[in-house]
Copies of this chain bind each other. A is one copy, B any other.
Amino acid sequence: MQLAESMIEDWRAFTTNVSLADAVITGPAIIVTWGDGRVSPFHFMWLRDNCACNQCVHPLTREQVFEIADVPDDLAAQAASIGGAGALHVQWTDGHRSVYTPGWLRAHAYDDASRAERHRAGKAHPWAAEYGAALATFDWRDVEHDDAALHAWLSALRATGLTLLRGVPVEPGSVAAVARRISFIRESNFGVLFDVASKPMPDSNAYTSINLPPHTDLPTRELQPGLQFLHCLVNDAPGGDSIFIDGFALATHLREHEPDAFATLSSTAFEFWNKSATSDYRASAPIIALDGRGEVIEVRHANFLRGPIDAPLASMPAIYEAYRRFIELARDERFRVRHRLAAGEMWAFDNRRVLHARTEFDPQLGARHLQGCYIDRDELLSRIRVLERALPPGS
């Protein structure tokens, strides 16, 4: 049975096949029992805060105008019932009435089972060298016009952190068109687009022809760019292979096999400083960042963009031991995916997860020119969510 869906609360549609079976006021909460037996308590304040009526939410912007401090803290539900279209109806002690559709309630329930269900979704799957043979590859000629192809590409990018796009026109600026299929580009001091080629008077090791060791870009910024795109216009110089390492795989390996190094790298603030005549960016952050639940959410690393470590002498041996191990692991072929980009190919990768490196090339013997740009993780995730609003449920 498909129950009523509602667009009142948000711009999204909330559907559920599970109906509300019962709603009982108990203490400062309404305890809802679902048709499948799940029990979800909803606190009075939480329910009042989420009233979606036209008085509480601006009908055009769908943003809240009500604030919880507008009602006394002893506000209570006087009556709760399951009404038309299976929705939860609440009558408040101050006379206000609220209606919550089952789809919306199910999507936002915070009983243990509902929370665990939500938090399971979207865990990253680390990869090692084997991924090189199964690289998620897409064609720009599909992605450009087809939202389902776009969604497939972006979902793979979110899951693996490394994808290859083929069929990107070999014209300067094409990388911008690809990026803008997702959202606007994140500018940096290197420009909206940057050109990776050997340059006279380089302001970054990236703009020389030397071996470039594994790194994330712009670790010197408080928020590293979420996605990086690197589009190959020409690659005729000997050398210049691309190498990728899943930073989450390195972190997982350390967590399992060298917990002391993992603890040090996830709790020590390293200094990341850019070196330039015209800018002076600095960030202090751990190499491995954890979220509130202890999950690895970010890797930050560029040996050549560091400032002196600022820690007491007593911590230095453990810090350098852990840092040395991280570099050694990133050099280990077991973790490395290697591919030499051809003209018209483009990397799209998670710059806060995947380290990238480049072998030395000889600019005397041929041209090598990549163009790149950045987009933040927020933009990727927003785009995926909006695309999914238009997809059939469960797809």
Binding site for B on A (CB under 8 A): 10-12, 28-29, 41, 43, 45-46, 49-50, 58, 60-65, 67-69, 73, 108, 110-112, 115, 118, 183-189, 201-205, 207-208, 210, 213, 220-223, 269, 273, 275-283, 292, 303-313, 316-317, 320-321, 323-324, 327-328, 331, 376-378, 381-382, 385-386, 389
Contact = CB atoms under 8 A, between A and B. Distances in A.
B115 A331 contact: no
B201 A60 contact: yes
Contacts of A220: 378
Given A275-B10, A320-B43, A112 B61 contact: no
A310 B118 contact: yes
B222 A46 contact: no
A311 B386 CA distance: 25
Contacts of A73: 320-321, 324
A277 B279 CA distance: 38
A378 B281 contact: yes
Max count, chain B CB within 10 A of own CB: residue among A63, A112, A187, A323: A63
A220 B10 CA distance: 15
Nearest to A207: B61
Given A277-B11, A313-B29, A382-B280, A68 B323 contact: yes
Nearest to A211: B65
B45 A312 contact: no
Contacts of A58: 205, 208, 210, 304
Contact of A328 (B61, B69, B110, B308): B69
Contacts of A43: 313, 316-317, 320
B213 A386 contact: no
Nearest to A293: B269
Max count, chain B CB within 10 A of own CB: residue among A11, A43, A69: A69
Contact of A61 (B41, B189, B202): B202
Nearest to A40: B313
B110 A312 contact: yes
A324 B311 CA distance: 39
B12 A65 contact: no
